[in-house]
Structure 1
Amino acid sequence: METLPRETIVDVLENKLREEILAGNHPAGSYLPPERELADGYGVTRTTLKHAFGRLVQSGLLETRHGVGTRVRDFVRFGGADLLPMLVRHSPDWLGEIFEVRRSIGALIAERAAMKATREQRAELRSLLAAVGDAEDGGDAQLADIEVHRALARATGNRVYTLLTNTLFNAYVPMRAHLVAPFRDPEVAHARLEPVVSAVDAGDAGAAKKAADAYLAATERIMLDALGIA
């Protein structure tokens, strides 16, 4: 069987338009040039352009008004957290702000998990924590660590915390190979995370919040240092 190309012309055009929008080449609120002009400029058909537009409308970067044109949305003002993975891929500068939210939300999640976790959820957390220490390498330890935090969010009993956690990790995962530094030694990674799980397991909300804040601050510092971001 013939191998299919990894990118179609629609993929290439979508990526090109996205980067131009995020770079500010098409300011928020401005209308894009007429479709025929754009299609000719990029050397594509109007059908291809419409498909690319459709994807960017779905991602929240564009809005199309029949008979008026296609306008760039003010995604920072009106967009949702679902845009974060795309924004991080465009610019690592977003990571600092993501880490700030990660730290404040993560501490609250640990505190609430200590108050709300069921016996089964505590057992799951202990098992997932053990998987961090048993990981074969830093990449596996990093993925195991993510699962601990997803489980902490579920243990709060609040589905919004779970969705926020998933959104933050969806933004983080595209760059995770560059953020593996805290997990290179699985045993050290396990020891760093263990106080959080132990406090949640003990039902000590105050200790869980404090341990989570310390853990998130430490891993944030290690990752940003590895990226060379002050």
Structure 2
Amino acid sequence: MENFIELMLPYVLKVQKEENISASMLIAQSILETGWGESFLAKNALNLFGIKGSYKGQSIVIRTIEYVEGEERVVSSAFKRYPTWYESIKDLVEFYKRGTRYAPIFGETDYKKACSALQQAGYASDPKYAEKLIGIIERNNLAKYDTMSGMPFPPPVKVSKPYPGELIKKGSKGMYVVEVQKQLNKLNFKLAEDGIFGAKTERTVRTFQQMKGLSADGVVGSKTWSVLFAN
């Protein structure tokens, strides 16, 4: 759970600085909406807030349960697919900016007032939405991030490819695994570029991490990605 917050911070703090909006509230929303980043949309579309539609032409279609005139129906809906978590967070804030009723949440430094203003603006139908956000903030000591003016760690090195915002580890499959395998092969490792993060890829990642003085856990997180794709 702490790792999810760590992964979120670079993106959330950037948006907080750009838009003058509570970082703790945004983190709490993402935790509540995705179950600590474990939702299908978070993993497959980097969509942290369940926003429907398409983002720059990119979307993912999933089946959901909706209520029409009181009756439960299964429908197919398109949800926005983002290139990174930053765009997901930024897109949510842009939505807030388009509605004048959300104006009170901008510039509000008291997270309790910000969460209450968000609910009063009608963002969620759950009458306990603000209460739930405040609870998440307080249990995880998120309020400390509201006073941060920048990154809580040194700026990352420039990378040739942006970090996708998700852990890439044993069992992972897809294009990001291929990118990791290709980059490792450029360093004279010999991996099949099959997009499957199996035992051999895990061992190779561990070896790379040991070479670079990183925590050798065999998982490609933000730090390993930045070093691997450093220009």
- TM-score, L = length of structure 2: 0.24
Structure number having the greater strand percentage: 2
Structure number having the greater helix percentage: 1
- TM-score, L = length of structure 1: 0.24
Greater CA radius of gyration, 1 or 2? 1
